[in-house]
Chains A and B, each alone.
Chain A
């Protein structure tokens, strides 16, 4: 397997007033293509910050982040936006669907950034909704769907443009156990069957069991690593 992500000596610092807060210092990490990585750790350990750096929504203070060999840490804001649109699917804890758009239109959103025709977009949306088992809920608004269904719509939105990477921030944090398991099985399927590289931040050890690799982060440092349970 080839290296999808390569983080080398990454630091992230924030300035709050006169105080500088260091989240990471000298953090290095490699993620192979097709991997399913869970990042665990206590609150404030830097999990979400790491996920933001991987997703190109934040920039490191120093160090290098390479994606498929290309440096993304030096891209402009516009360049990063284009990179995200082409390579990353995001899944959030609270789904973050557009409340005024139906399920199918929510899924179609990332495709507005492509040059696909309306017919091709419709095909892709149908395929994505079918993949998550919600083809019969296509016209429903988010408020008409359960939490699990909304997260499935969010997954369909994340995969509709066929990105290599899925970044999941506590994807089951707002769901009950059985629904959470359904979502995690779906992520596993996307990883195993469709070759999606998945990086998932979670507090939930049960969720982490679905990952191939579990990284433990504490105070900005990796303190342990394990495989799937």
Chain B
């Protein structure tokens, strides 16, 4: 027997209580691991965006349109390398519930801006550029919809109507693109802006956003300022930001995800703190006589302190490690299923390290009070109570 065995024996002496407390800690760390991965996954999507890519949107809100004429004025700004634009189409196929993420784009320039992100066979690209009714679909979307090259797809809009009174634009699948990574999100499609623009009944010659690459990321700030200055006091003022900031703002429309995740995790840990702290206090109170006997036998107060603290550390670290490992397995298992939404979903080392730090902190916080109580326990008083 050694001191570690003694600590362990004390920890597991009430098996049900041990198991339940461990389970509570396990759940907290599972939540932490999964939500931490989710947050990191969302963040990494933003981080993957090129540093030299900027987006210009309507200053009121990115859902408000911009005149297409802005594109050429933006192209003329010094430092803008290649610029394009995209308009949200609000597309669906057959059933309004069968939504397809679809953008009307200026094909040639858009594929240049996103040359690294939209990986398309040259022949398919050629065909797409040639055919005004052509569309290119991401691999995931094409698979989900059962589309093949050459298929004619009646894509409807839940925003626009055509001159002929319908909401349907007939398109032909000319290409199926992949993302830069196997896990990249490809559940979207692009088609010719001109094809949509020429026959829609409203919003003519307006687009959703202008996107462009700059020659040098260090020039981003100046270029943004210059572009926004171009349209000051116009009916459609602009806001130019990096694509990263834009993506961040886009996510923020669903709420402050980081705050939500932090709140959920904090609530979970606060509850666990109370549960484990209470359990440890209870455990030490129950063992008052035993601790007094240990001290009577000659165990020093500091040693008793260490033993009680080790108990809560064990509890926290075992539960925490189990939770983190299961979170890792869960996230790894979900990686494929969520690849479209969160292509970089994984339990990053930073989250693991945070979990480890929380385990130690939880063990310390929940163990310190009972450990102090045990250390300060007066033998005569404790044995007298017996």
Contact = CB atoms under 8 A, between A and B. Distances in A.
B105 to A, nearest CB: 71
Nearest to A108: B1
B123 interface: no
Contact of B289 (A84, A86, A96): A96
Contact of A101 (B2, B9, B289, B295): B9
Contact of B290 (A86, A90, A96): A96
Given A78-B301, A96-B289, A109 B296 contact: no
A139 to B, nearest CB: 13
Interface in A104-160: 105, 108-110, 112-113, 157
B293 A100 contact: no
Nearest to A59: B380
Given A57-B380, A105-B1, A98 B297 contact: no
Nearest to A99: B13
Given A81-B301, A100-B13, A112-B6, A57 B1 contact: no
A98 B380 contact: no
A109 B298 CA distance: 10
B250 interface: no
A4 to B, nearest CB: 18
A78 B300 CA distance: 6
Interface residues of A, number: 27
B218 interface: no
Given A99-B13, A108-B1, A58 B380 contact: yes
Report which residue of B5, B294, B296, B300 has the largest number of chain A beta carbons within 10 angstroms of its beta carbon. B296
B299 A113 contact: yes
A32 B5 CA distance: 39
A92 B293 contact: yes
Nearest to B382: A57
A96 B289 CA distance: 8
Nearest to B12: A100
A98 B290 contact: yes
Interface in B340-386: 379-380, 383-384, 386
A90 B293 CA distance: 9
B1 A100 contact: no
Interface string A67-104: 00000000001100110111000101010101111000
A211 B95 CA distance: 100
Interface in A186-208: none
A179 interface: no
Given A78-B301, A100-B10, A101-B9, A84 B1 contact: no
A52 B295 CA distance: 13
B298 A110 contact: yes
Nearest to B379: A57
Contacts of A92: 293, 383
Contacts of B13: 99-100
Nearest to A85: B298
Given A92-B293, A99-B13, A100-B13, A52 B380 contact: yes
B3 interface: yes
B248 to A, nearest CB: 54
A41 interface: no
Nearest to B386: A94
Interface of A: 48, 52, 55, 57-58, 77-78, 81-82, 84-86, 90, 92, 94, 96, 98-101, 105, 108-110, 112-113, 157
Question: Which 6 A-B residue pairings sit nearest by Cβ, starting from the closest?
Answer: A85-B298, A100-B13, A57-B379, A96-B293, A84-B298, A100-B9
27 contacts: A48-B384, A52-B380, A57-B295, A57-B379, A57-B380, A57-B383, A58-B380, A77-B300, A81-B295, A81-B299, A81-B300, A84-B298, A85-B297, A85-B298, A85-B299, A90-B296, A92-B293, A92-B383, A96-B293, A98-B293, A99-B290, A101-B1, A101-B6, A105-B1, A112-B1, A112-B3, A113-B299
Interface of B: 1-3, 5-6, 9-10, 12-13, 289-290, 293-302, 379-380, 383-384, 386
